């Protein structure tokens, strides 16, 4: 059983999580996260810890941000877009149990002040800000690091918040460049 309580968007996500692992969940009931739900998440964080596991889309990222700001110190699990593809939508509910287990095995913990700072200049130099392929590079880098896709500003914030080390960042960039050379 997973010690932490997993925060998901809805009942279908809970069903998918329970198919993959033995865990308790809290459902936000969508992107309008109520104060009552935030309070339940706070209690869970104090007692057992919390893993935020939302869909890899705009509403899922919005929920992640709301909870993260209201309840500091949460852990984060990210599922790849291609692993969560339904017929019309993206969602944890569409993911195979193996994909869910993989995302939970690669959980990242928030940090108040990271040990090593990856700077905005590092992001620019890596071709992750501006430029013709910056969006595609951010998407691939986010998948490689297991932190999901984000725009440049959010990616930088996520790299720091989730304690991505400079070494991990450099290794992921080397992998990214190797992939681009194959093309």
Q: Are residues 15 and 65 in the same domain?
A: yes
DSSP 8-state class, residue 100 = H
Domain end call among 110, 141, 161: 110
What CATH number corresponds to the domain at position 26? 3.40.1360.10
Name residue 50's beta-bridge partners.
5
Domain end call among 95, 110, 125: 110
Q: Are residues 98 and 177 in the same domain?
A: no
Q: Are 78 and 103 in contact (CB under 8 A)?
A: yes
Q: Are residues 83 and 171 in the same domain?
A: no
Q: Are residues 105 and 89 in the same domain?
A: yes
| Count of domains observed in the chain | 2
Full residue range of the structural domain in which residue 105 is found: 1-110
Q: How far is CA 105 from CA 2, 25, 63, 162, in A?
A: 10, 17, 21, 15
Q: Are residues 87 and 144 in the same domain?
A: no
Cα(84)–Cα(77) distance, rounded to whole angstroms? Answer: 13
pLDDT, one tens digit for every residue, the chain (183 residues): 899 999 999 999 999 999 999 999 999 998 889 999 999 999 999 999 999 999 999 899 899 999 999 999 999 999 988 888 888 888 999 999 999 999 999 998 877 655 568 999 999 999 999 888 999 999 999 989 989 888 999 999 889 888 888 899 999 999 999 988 887
């Amino acid at each position: 059983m997973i010690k932490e309580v997993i925060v998901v968007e809805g009942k279908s996500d809970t069903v998918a999580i329970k198919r993959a692992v033995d865990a308790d969940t809290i459902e936000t009931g969508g992107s309008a996260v109520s104060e009552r739900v935030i309070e339940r998440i706070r209690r869970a964080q104090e007692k057992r810890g919390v893993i935020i596991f939302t869909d890899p889309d705009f509403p899922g990222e919005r929920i992640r941000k709301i909870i993260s700001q209201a309840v500091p110190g949460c852990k984060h699990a990210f599922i790849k877009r291609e692993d969560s593809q339904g017929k019309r939508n993206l969602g944890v509910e569409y993911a195979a149990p193996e994909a869910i287990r993989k995302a939970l095995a690669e959980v990242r913990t928030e940090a108040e002040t990271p040990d090593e700072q990856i700077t905005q200049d590092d992001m620019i130099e890596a071709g992750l800000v501006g430029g013709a392929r910056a969006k595609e590079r951010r998407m691939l880098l986010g998948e490689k690091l297991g932190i999901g896709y984000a725009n440049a500003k959010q990616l930088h914030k996520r790299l720091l918040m989730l304690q991505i080390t400079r070494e991990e960042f450099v290794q992921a960039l080397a992998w990214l460049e190797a992939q681009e050379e194959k093309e």
